[in-house]
């Protein structure tokens, strides 16, 4: 029984990281109608910048967090302005291919700017073990689960009650009509990319804090994408919850069926779910697939 609980807790922790990245996918899709296949690479870039700040400027957790968030905002705004804005009005397939090219560039830049060796992000916190009901849990794992729940609440309130949240949904549904209604599509896109970058960056920092930092971190995007599909590509909250489901499923499969099954469990799960609900658990039926 203790082994099962340990798998569930660690599954929730890694699932929270998947959920944050998946929410980043969904924020961009809900605001622009675009799937960003560079999400994992943006996660990795922010984590590397956080590690650089901690080793060269300050290891204070608040300084590192502030620096990482500011860089994430800048990264999202630069990508939107220089790469994505010129693609407005172009075919969706071409725009998606641009994000794939962007992913390759960001992934390759890690080797040019930093190195290919793994590193540990040591902020003096996050790796301490606490006992909860006899189960050992890292403080970083508890923090990332709490952060996911907080982000779910914030984004739910944002899209439900704020005028700008409604404007973001309107632009994704029909940007031309939104423009006629006085909504600035470029402003919406810029904020969506910045917000997505911050959310994904938070996930990357938590991953580096709890585990290790390496150029293979871009694979977090590949692991989180099934969570977005599972929850619904247009459902930000559903994507976050989908991350938790994927994390738990992977851990249980790896714990009881072997490590090889852990790698495919998430994708097997979305195949089954999409056969029943092609638009995801929380998605809308009229979703446009890419």
| Residue that the structure tokens 């500011």 belong to | 70
Question: How much of the chain, in percent, has pLDDT values that exceed 90?
Answer: 26
Domain assignment of residue 171, yes or no: yes
Helix axes 61-78 and 39-56, enclosed angle (nearest 10): 140
- Look over the chain and give the mean of its residue pLDDT values, rounded to a whole number: 84
Which residue stretches of 137-282 are H helix? 139-161, 163-173, 175-180, 185-210, 219-231, 236-257, 259-276
Look at residue 173 in the predicted model and tell me its pLDDT. 66
Higher per-residue confidence, 240 vs 2: 240
Domain count, the chain: 1
Domain assignment of residue 24, yes or no: yes
**pLDDT per residue as tens digits for the range 228-277:** 888 887 788 888 888 899 989 888 888 888 777 887 887 888 888 878 87
pTM summary value: 0.88
Domain assignment of residue 243, yes or no: no
Domain assignment of residue 5, yes or no: no
Cβ partners under 8 Å of residue 138, min gap 6: 13, 126, 127, 128, 129, 130, 210
Angle at 73 between CA 235 and CA 221, to 5 degrees: 50
State the residue range of the domain holding 39.
19-218
pLDDT at 286 over 60: no
């Amino acid at each position: 029984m203790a082994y099962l609980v340990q798998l569930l807790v660690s599954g929730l922790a890694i699932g929270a990281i998947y959920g944050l990245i998946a929410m980043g996918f969904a924020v961009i899709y809900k605001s622009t109608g675009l799937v960003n296949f560079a999400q994992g690479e943006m996660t990795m870039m922010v984590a590397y910048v956080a590690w650089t700040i901690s080793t060269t400027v300050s290891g204070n957790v608040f300084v590192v967090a502030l620096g990482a968030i500011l860089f994430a905002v800048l990264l999202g705004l630069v990508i939107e302005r220089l790469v994505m804005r010129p693609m407005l009005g172009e075919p969706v397939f071409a725009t998606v291919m641009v994000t794939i090219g962007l992913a390759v560039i960001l992934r390759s830049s890690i080797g040019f700017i930093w190195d290919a060796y793994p590193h540990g992000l040591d902020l003096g916190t996050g790796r301490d073990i606490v006992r909860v009901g006899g189960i050992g849990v890292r403080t970083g794992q508890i923090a990332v689960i709490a952060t996911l729940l907080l982000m779910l609440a914030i984004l739910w309130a944002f899209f439900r009650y704020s005028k700008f949240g409604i404007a973001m949904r309107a632009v994704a549904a029909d940007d031309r009509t939104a423009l006629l209604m006085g909504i600035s599509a470029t402003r919406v896109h810029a904020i969506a990319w910045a917000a997505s970058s911050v959310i994904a960056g938070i996930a990357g920092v938590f991953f580096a804090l709890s585990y290790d930092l390496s150029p293979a971190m871009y694979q977090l995007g590949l692991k989180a994408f099934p969570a977005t599909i599972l929850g619904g590509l247009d459902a930000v909250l559903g994507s976050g919850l989908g991350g938790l489901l994927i994390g738990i499923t992977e851990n249980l499969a790896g714990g009881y069926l072997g490590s090889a099954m852990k790698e495919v469990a998430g994708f097997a799960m979305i195949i089954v779910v999409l056969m029943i609900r092609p638009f995801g658990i929380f998605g809308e039926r009229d979703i446009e697939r890419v």
